[in-house]
Amino acid sequence: MLTNLGAAALRLLPPEKAHRATLRLLRTASPLLPPAPADDPRLALTALGMNFPNPIGLAAGFDKDADVPDAMLKLGFGFVECGSVTPRPQAGNPQPRLFRLRADCAVINRMGFNNGGMDAMATKLARRQKRGIVGINIGANKDSIDRTADYELCFAALAPFASYIAANVSSPNTPGLRGLQNKDELQRLLETLTNARARGSYLPILLKIAPDVTPDALDDIADVTLASGIEGIIATNTTIARPPWLKSNQANESGGLSGAPLMAPSTAILKALRQRVGAKLTLIGVGGIASGVDAYAKMRAGASLVQFYTALAYSGPGLIARIKRELSACLARDGFATVSEAVGAGNR
């Protein structure tokens, strides 16, 4: 079992090697992992038409190829998001491309959508029993001629195995990808995905956006998303910004910054987005969560669900249970009988 002590040992390895070793360990240990203890009933909620045992999710990026979704669910996550995955396999950017900023409790990555491709993921997912909520985060190949078509291909291949699909248009590590957040391109992408869904069975669709958007761009994203008929937005991906107070020597590496420095800006985007869309969309808050207090802040800003990844690399799997305990304590302190009652409380 991947204990917190084992996680500490893995942190002695270079970051990418540690990540690969963690996935190997989880694949081996998955059949032996006992289910996590039952969650506090206050944490259960309904969102996106599904019943979540708790609102704490694993963000995309950890399990790019859907190797260990069931192991992560056993560790206590309420839902898991695999990917990002592209139609064709791709190696990603040259190494080194993953950097720990220990002094800042942060990470910089410029992975570049390294993954084994949609067909390999579909094969793995077809073998698993469909238990628990597993979303799939889809993207476009770096050398794609038609990126919208790439999303359509991924949707068609993976929708039968997914609880929801998240379209990632916000990674800073694929040149030009964030251009898909522009109004006209976003309209085309979301129309393509909703048309693809109409040809099959219903599946929630979400859009994952960047934290570096301007207020005007956020207006456009809100307007287009509301008009499109998709169900939600994931706010946010990593940032290309570099706060001047970062202490780590590798703070100026190129790529997306995640972890503690992302908490405030991503929550600000989340809150502004909730003010624009009201209760018409489900929002998932991501960025900088390392405690139940952080998760609670995202929910008060408007998130029905939250995700994290970077803090898991620093604190180990025991963090999952601790976040849920602390979130329950926040709800009890403020008199909320259910986690859903706290959603958007900071905007009222």
Q: Which residues belong to the active site? A: 171
Question: Using H for helix, E for strand and C for coil, what is the string for the chain?
Answer: CCCHHHHHHHCCCCHHHHHHHHHHHHHHHHHHCCCCCCCCHHHCEEECCEEECCCEEECCCCCCCCCCHHHHHHCCCCEEEEEEECCCCECCCCCCCEEEEHHHCEEEECCCCCECCHHHHHHHHHHCCCCCCEEEEECCCCCCCCHHHHHHHHHHHHHHHCCEEEEECCCCCCCCHHHHHCHHHHHHHHHHHHHHHHCCCCCCEEEEECCCCCHHHHHHHHHHHHHHCCCEEEECCCECCCCCCCCCCCCCCCCEEEEHHHHHHHHHHHHHHHHHHCCCCEEEEECCCCCHHHHHHHHHHCCCEEEECHHHHHHCCHHHHHHHHHHHHHHHHCCCCCHHHHCCHHHC
